[in-house]
Structure 1
Amino acid sequence: MKQFKSPTLPAHIADNGMKSIAFFLDGEEQQDLDSAPWHQAGHLPQASFSLAHNQQGIYLKYKVSEQHVLTRYKNINDPVYKDSCVEFFIAFGDDKNYYNFEFNSLGTALCGYGGSKTDRFDLPVDIAATINTLSTTIPQDAETGLYNWELTLFFPFSVFVHHNKLDLKEQACRVNFYKCGDDLPEPHFLSWVPIEHPYPEFHLPEQFGSVVFV
């Protein structure tokens, strides 16, 4: 099983806000979203993430470089996977259900919980709204023609509404991380853990990897 370790975010970093958190995550180990089992031709984006945690929640930063950026959706629980999108799926302990958190490059969130793609419930809008976001998009590079964007996220433990009193210290959780864009001129589907499936599908918890919160 593919695995990595999540460091603890120092309290003074968290207290200084999202820009400070984003800077800290820049210095942590970057995990590449380098599995593209359904890619056949055309441009393939580059994407990576870094992760940290503390007693307040989970901190995550994505870095993306791609040829097209689409940002149409502005409301929580809109279908942001059709835009330029990054995703984070996580399951705690022995729970067969998992959370899916999906964001376009603006930070618009789609959040759900359940045991499969067809057995899911959207998280309440007021809960999803407590996820802090910081998005940055750099203008198109004149030489490469690529757009570069970053998204930093803070998930307070209260977001995980089906799990009370979470304590992640020295715990392992099942996870996967993704990059997609269903409605882009060249749709793509990237993942951290390689996926074995005949067509694009991210809701496969049996193929999640693992993160250890140290």
Structure 2
Amino acid sequence: MELLNFNKKELICIYQVKTIKRIEELNHCARFQINHHLWEKEYKPIAFGQMAVLSDYGIVVSMTAMELNPLCRFYKDDDPVYKDSAMEAFLNFDLDHPEKGYLNFEMNANGAMLSEFGINRNRKKIKDLISYSAVCEANIYDSRWQVLLKIPMSLICELYKSEPLKSGDVFSCNFYKISEDPLIEHYASYAPIKSKIPNFHLPVFFDKAVIL
């Protein structure tokens, strides 16, 4: 297992991705906190998530935002949901070849999802590249809203021309809470970002995750 390449301190510092057999087990996985509030915006909603490998499927990510009445005007996939209240997952599954690019999934409380692949801001819609697609399920509750992102392993393998992910594999990721609407403009991240202007497309600031 490639886990042997990590010392104990390094392993504690990166997100450990469990393999689960049922989607319900995601609730028992470690939380990541989206609590780095950036670029001095007043609105700072609490947000967090959990990630795992679902056996015989792929990567699954649950994200929750503690917001009442989230702004959700867009209903179609690949709409600019970042102008609503949105949560986002950015993932790179080939650290040795960053020129291949990374995935971004941006979701609102309606379940509308912008799905792209590319390098920095040079991005293409996933639907224009391959036939596989990710799935977003969204729910609004009294004091929070939640999305469940499901990324088929076939999508990852096709885009990266790779074998299925396995125990010991390492990838990088960042997770975001965002709205570009002037009334509630805000930016928060899981891994901190050092930039003078709002920009989530900076893979140099992604954190590592390891599959257990």
TM-score bracket, normalised by the shorter chain, equals 0.7 to 0.9
Structure 2 equivalent of residue 81 of structure 1: 82
Number of equivalent positions: 195
How far did 1:9 drift?
Answer: 1.0
How far did 1:129 drift?
Answer: 7.5
- Distance (Å, rounded) in 2 between the aligned partners of 1:199 and 1:125: 30
TM-score (norm 2): 0.84
1:159 maps to which of 126, 149, 155: 155
CA contact (8 A) 2:41 2:186 kept: no
2:97 aligned partner, one-letter code: D
How far did 1:67 drift?
Answer: 4.8
Structure 2 equivalent of residue 134 of structure 1: 137
Q: Which runs of 5+ in 1 are unaligned?
A: 14-20, 140-146
How far did 1:39 drift?
Answer: 2.5
Q: Which runs of 5+ in 2 are unaligned?
A: 1-9
Structure 1 equivalent of residue 206 of structure 2: 208
Query: After superposition, where does 1:1-214 map in structure 2 within 5 Å?
Result: 3-10=14-21, 13=22, 21=23, 23-41=24-42, 43-53=43-53, 54-67=55-68, 69-93=70-94, 94-96=96-98, 97-117=101-121, 119-124=122-127, 130-139=133-142, 147-160=143-156, 161-164=158-161, 165-183=163-181, 185-214=183-212
- Structure 1 residues 197 and 163, CA, compared in 2 at 3 Å: closer, same or farther? same
User: Mean alpha-carbon deviation: is it higher for 188-197 or for 29-38?
Assistant: 29-38
User: Mean alpha-carbon deviation: is it higher for 31-40 or for 128-137?
Assistant: 128-137
What are the superposed Cα offsets for residues 151-202 of structure 1, whole Å, 9 maximum, x if unpaired? 1121112223312432232101011111101116221101000000001110
CA contact (8 A) 1:83 1:184 kept: no
- Distance (Å, rounded) in 1 between the aligned partners of 2:166 and 2:133: 20
What are the superposed Cα offsets for residues 76-122 of structure 1, whole Å, 9 maximum, x if unpaired? 111111111111111122131111111111221111111111x1111
CA contact (8 A) 2:41 2:187 kept: no
CA contact (8 A) 2:67 2:144 kept: yes
Structure 2 equivalent of residue 143 of structure 1: none
1:65 aligned partner, one-letter code: M
How far did 1:55 drift?
Answer: 4.2
- Distance (Å, rounded) in 1 between the aligned partners of 2:85 and 2:41: 19
How far did 1:132 drift?
Answer: 2.8
TM-score (norm 1): 0.83
1:173 aligned partner, one-letter code: F
Q: Report the structure, 1 or 2, having the larger helix content.
A: 2
Q: CA RMSD, aligned part only?
A: 2.1
